[in-house]
Amino acid sequence: MVRSYFHLHLVSDSTGETLINVGRAAAAQYEGVSAIEHVYPLVRSGAQLERVINEIEQAPGIVLYTLVGRELTERLEEACRATGSPLLSVLEPVHQLLQSYLGTHSTARPGAQHMLNAEYFKRIDAMNFTLAHDDGNLPVDLNEADVILLGVSRTSKTPTAIYLANRGLKTANIPLVPGVPPPPVLETLRKPLVVGLIASPERIVQIRQNRLLSLKADDSSSYVDRDAVADEIATSRRLFARNRWPVIDVTRRSIEETAAAIVDLHREHRLKFIAS
């Protein structure tokens, strides 16, 4: 397949995270087409914008922006018309909908979503907890967790836990090792949501082989034996079923998809916990 490319300019008066996520999500829907991203964060002055415009003139393409200043917006619109670059304010349709529904106008505050607030410090606290409770560390205070992830080696426990921590959920992850029982306290916990992660034996073996290859380690152990791995997964399934813990198969899921499913499960679990 022949792949084509286009320039995608992302102009923001804040960190640019919103634009990056929107731009990539949309561009991913077009097979055989890739975006050459130009990211311009913290554009808040005329001089900064002129440098952006100069790059757009050198490589015209689609321009997505989140600028709240009227003068900056008008100057960017003018430059895009001159270069024939399609332009879209990503937040404007949302603002119009909110204004129509709420009957009031917004206040222009660049980067307002990143202001330090209780939610921000909650995420920091969750991240500290998650990093301290990675790979079975500090099991004594597991009841302080919001989520506990269980699974055999290479079921994406750590990256999923970190992603959940960024959503404000204190997440511990515990590996299931053959011949080593999980912490007994798990069966008595009520507050945390315990989730089992599984994957197909073929997927686990593939990831483990790549891991050993990167470490230049011997790959003749049961760690990468297909039958042994299948037995590990079957044992973990029995453990999850015995304790009625929800199970997520991560074989074909991205970290984001797995985390989204866990967030939904946690919401339901929290409501049941509060009601009990």
Tell me the residue type at 49.
L
Q: Which residues are annotated binding-site positions for ADP?
A: 151-158
* 207: CB partners within 8 A, 6+ apart: 154
CA–CA separation, 143 vs 70, rounded Å? 50
**112 class by beta-carbon count within 10 Å (0-12 exposed, 13-18 middle, 19+ buried):** exposed
CA–CA separation, 164 vs 260, rounded Å? 9
Contact between residue 23 and residue 48 where contact means Cβ atoms under 8 Å apart = no
CA–CA separation, 40 vs 228, rounded Å? 50
Q: Which residues are annotated binding-site positions?
A: 151-158
